[in-house]
């Protein structure tokens, strides 16, 4: 059974960088499909941020393209989100997820709440 778990700081100051880790168990990052970061803003709005796929290629939401980077470490079975120059508008719950683009057998992590505040 694939499981994902996000980790990272819950509070980040404006203009700083946000870095989160998604730890995967029960699977490998190279076996197939996409590994995404998605965030849910206060209220119900959800935004797909980007993915790294099983080959290591990345695809980002154009709304974030200049600020986002997704990388991975296949040996520790983790992938990472790095978001530069955060503002209060980046306050959200951040989720990592598997196979969001593939649909079937989609798996989400539990989410980590990140607040951007001075």
Partner 1 sequence: DVVLTQTPPTLSATIGQSVSISCRSSQSLLDTDGDTYLNWLLQRPGQSPQLLIYSVSNLESGVPNRFSGSGSETDFTLKISGVEAEDLGVYYCIQATHAPLTFGSGTKLEIK
Binding site for partner 1 (CB under 8 A): 36, 44-48, 59, 61-63, 95, 100-106, 108-111
Q: Where would I find the beta strands (DSSP E) of the chain?
A: 3-7, 11-12, 18-25, 34-40, 46-53, 58-60, 68-73, 78-83, 92-98, 107-108, 112-116
CB of 86 to partner 1, least distance (A): 20
| Rounded Cα distance, 100 and 51, in Å | 9
Between 14 and 102, name the residue whose CB sits nearer to partner 1.
102
Between 79 and 95, name the residue whose CB sits nearer to partner 1.
95
CB of 3 to partner 1, least distance (A): 11
Q: Rounded to a whole number, what is the distance in angstroms from the first to the last CA of the chain?
A: 40
CB of 94 to partner 1, least distance (A): 11
Between 16 and 21, name the residue whose CB sits nearer to partner 1.
21
CB of 5 to partner 1, least distance (A): 11
Rounded to the nearest 10 degrees, how much is the dihedral formed by the CA atoms of 78, 14, 89, 33? Answer: -10
Between 45 and 55, name the residue whose CB sits nearer to partner 1.
45
Q: What is the total residue count of the chain?
A: 118
């Amino acid at each position: 059974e694939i499981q994902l778990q996000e980790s990272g700081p819950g509070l980040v100051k404006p203009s700083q960088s946000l870095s989160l880790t998604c730890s995967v168990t029960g699977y490998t990052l190279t076996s197939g499909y996409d590994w995404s970061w998605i965030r849910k803003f206060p209220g119900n709005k959800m935004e797909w941020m980007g993915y790294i796929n099983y080959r290591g290629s990345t695809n980002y939401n154009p709304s974030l393209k200049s600020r986002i980077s997704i990388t991975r470490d296949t040996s520790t079975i983790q992938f990472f989100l790095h978001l530069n120059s955060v503002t209060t508008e980046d306050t959200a719950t951040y989720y990592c997820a598997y196979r969001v683009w593939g649909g079937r057998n989609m798996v989400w992590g539990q989410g980590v709440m990140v607040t951007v505040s001075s």
